[in-house]
Structure 1
Amino acid sequence: MDNSDNPFHPSLTAALIKLDPEDGEQIAEYFKTQALLMREKALLQASVRDQKKLLVENGKLKKDIEQLRVQLQEKQRRRTAKALFSPPPPTLSPAPATPVIQPPSPAGATAAVPTNPPPLSSNDRGERQSRRRRGERKGRPSSDFLPLGAEPRVDVSRLDLRVGRILNVRCHPLAEGLSVQEVDLGESAPRRVVSKLGGKTPPEELQGGLAVLLCNVKARKVRGVVSQARLLCCSASDDCTEPLAPPTSSTPGDRVTFHNYPGDPDRELQSKQKVWELLQPDLQVDGRGVATYKGCRFEVKGKGLCRAPSFTNCTIR
């Protein structure tokens, strides 16, 4: 055996042979074999850990690529709708020339010759066409969102609800009753969320658990801490709340969908439209503890339904 691959020190071999001349060499060989096996086992375990890490990173990259693909399709759809429903720019036809009528001239005076207005230069015509196009677009709704004057839909499909894993929870440094969570949503970095949790569930018990979050709200500061999503909670009263629980087999980044309300969510909810405020009264937990919107259940496809851990017949906020 090569000494470079021998994890057993030669002096220990010599000591064993000195202690037991008959079996010392065999004992030393046995120890050498065991040491080599332990080293190979450690190398194999490190290789398995690296492989698992690569699988997790590949999964995150696939989700990022899928999100970018959906956004690209949405932009292409809006461009197509705009091209189909926007009217063509008006063409400016030249006005017919009209003769200028002059009053009769006194005797002996030279008669005025009728003249036409001077023709417009190319710059003047371009400026006039530009003014007319701007005037026609004034007050017209954007075709990106309202083709043919249609009213925007207001239903739960506009909410980007996703499963997240709460990595850690801490108290808000400036507000009693508020907590700050770091949540893994299957993205490149976790999001920070500020929530008001009641006394039903201690904050330390939430760490490592799954939750449902509204992800397309605009980031805002809550008492000096930026909140990048909204944690959905079941609320029996102002002081008695608990986070809504997705299926246990869910993974961070899974979308929560509704069978009766298909469609892609908004990229970001506009505060002026008050979509969340209009939808929130219809978000309820039924008598079986299942989260619903107008009777349609919160579902993670292929994995199950979202439920309240212990409440029934209460609101979701």
Structure 2
Amino acid sequence: MDSDKMFHPSLSEALMKLDPEDGGKMMEYFQTHALLAREKAFLQASVREQKKLLVENGKLKKDIEELRDELRDKQRRRVAKALLSPNKSVGSAASPAAALPTPSADLKGGRKVTNGQKEDKKAALGATPTFDVSRLDLRVGRIVSVRRHPLATNLTVQDVDVGEKAPRPVVSKRWPDDLQPLTGSLAVLLCNVKACKVKGVASNARLLRCFRADGPVELLALPSGSNPGDRVTFLNYPGEPERELKAAQRVWDRVQPGLRVDGEGVANYKGCGFQVKGKGVCGAPSLTNCTIGCT
């Protein structure tokens, strides 16, 4: 059987409409996977051949998953761009956004559409990106050392162990007690921000602290038994974080206002606690009703 006939034509058309650039490549992956499955039926039932086929299928499955994630990311970026530029043409006639009304159709009875109607429009675009704490890679880290930034008196550089082969350098705002007292302390780090240089010094994560605008600043307190590399998760917001936050989507800026320490001293996102699975929740050593941010 010809590999092109293994799939219904509508599947190929749908993939090409979803992404004209990568739809063909996705179809090739599907066809290759189908051919491998077909060949498997004719292989002799030897242990060595079966193991070899399983390894090949595993690699192919991983490639397909990565391509699917890439297609989703592209779709998210396109949707975000369309939402931020409502007066510009969005996609081609084959695009899902082409079915949306023009800006003049956003008026109803001489009045602008409501927020609810705008949300309906976003839903019509398909994969509307979500902006919540599940997209952040928050991990427990231990501060190995702290030193002053060589070029900025208001900054410090921490080397933080987050369970990887080497500590991550983190540049943060300097506070009066930022040096020796912090060495050896546990902290919560935002680890999937893009690595950058701050006044010439590399910074590969951000340090979370709780603070008031006119008051003291504290590291978040971790539950007993927490270890470097432990994930900080949220019961009401499951899912795996992104490999790297997209700067253009400003995910951190959208999520940060929901990060707070409540009246009981518990760190939470919109009422859902910072949790180290099996060990407990994070909090503030002494502050209550305050902000959590990266400083």
Tell me the TM-score normalized by structure 1.
Answer: 0.55
Contact 1:197 1:241 in 2 (8 A): no
2:238 aligned residue: 262
Pick aligned residue for 2:273 from 287, 294, 297: 297
Deviation at 1:244, TM superposition (A): 1.4
Q: Is the 8 A contact 2:133 2:255 kept in 1?
A: yes
**Match of residue 150, structure 1, among 118, 127, 131:** 127
Residue 221 (structure 1) shift: 1.3
* Cα shift at 1:238: 6.0
The answer on 1:232 being equivalent to 2:208 is yes
Q: Which secondary structure state, in structure 2, belongs to the residue aligned with residue 289 of structure 1?
A: coil
- Cα displacement (A) at 1:152: 0.7
Per-residue CA shift, 1:205-255, capped at 9, x if unaligned? 110111000000001111111110000010112663121122231111000
The CA distance in 1 between the partners of 2:230 and 2:61, in whole Å, is 20
Shift of 1:79: 3.7
Q: 2:66, 2:127 → 1: CA distance?
A: 14
Q: Which runs of 4+ in 1 moved over 6 A?
A: 72-75, 81-84, 135-141
Question: Aligned residue for 2:171?
Answer: 194
Task: State yes or no: 1:220 paired with 2:170.
Answer: no
Moved more, 188-197 or 152-161: 188-197
Whether contact under 8 Å (2:96, 2:124) holds in the other structure is no
In percent, how many aligned pairs have the same letter?
58
Q: Structure 1 pair 218/239, CA: closer, same or farther in 2 (3 Å)?
A: farther
Deviations 1:123-167 (A, max 9, x none): xxxxxxxxxxxx7788989xxxx9972201110000000000100
Kindly tell me: are residues 315 and 148 of structure 1, through their superposed partners in 2, closer, same or farther at Cα, counting changes over 3 Å?
same
Q: Which amino acid aligns with 2:208?
A: L
- One-letter identity of the residue aligned with 1:220: C
Match of 2:159 among 182, 189, 195: 182
1:37 corresponding residue in structure 2:
none
Partner of 1:160: 137
Tell me which amino acid in the other structure corresponds to 2:170: V
What is the alpha-carbon distance in structure 1 between the residues aligned to residue 208 and residue 149 of structure 2? 18
Larger Rg: 1
Aligned residues: 193
CA RMSD, aligned part only? 3.2
Mapping 1:20-99, distance limit 5 Å: 76-77=64-65, 79=67
Distance in 2, Cα, partners of 1:80 & 1:273: 20
Which one-letter code corresponds to 1:161 in the other structure?
A: L
Could you tell me which amino acid in structure 1 is paired with residue 276 of structure 2?
V
What is aligned with 1:173?
Answer: 150
TM-score between the two structures when normalised by the length of structure 2: 0.59
What CA distance in whole angstroms lies between the structure 2 residues aligned with 1:230 and 1:73?
33
Aligned to 1:274: 250
Aligned residue identity for 2:154: G
Distance 1:288 1:82, change over 3 A: closer
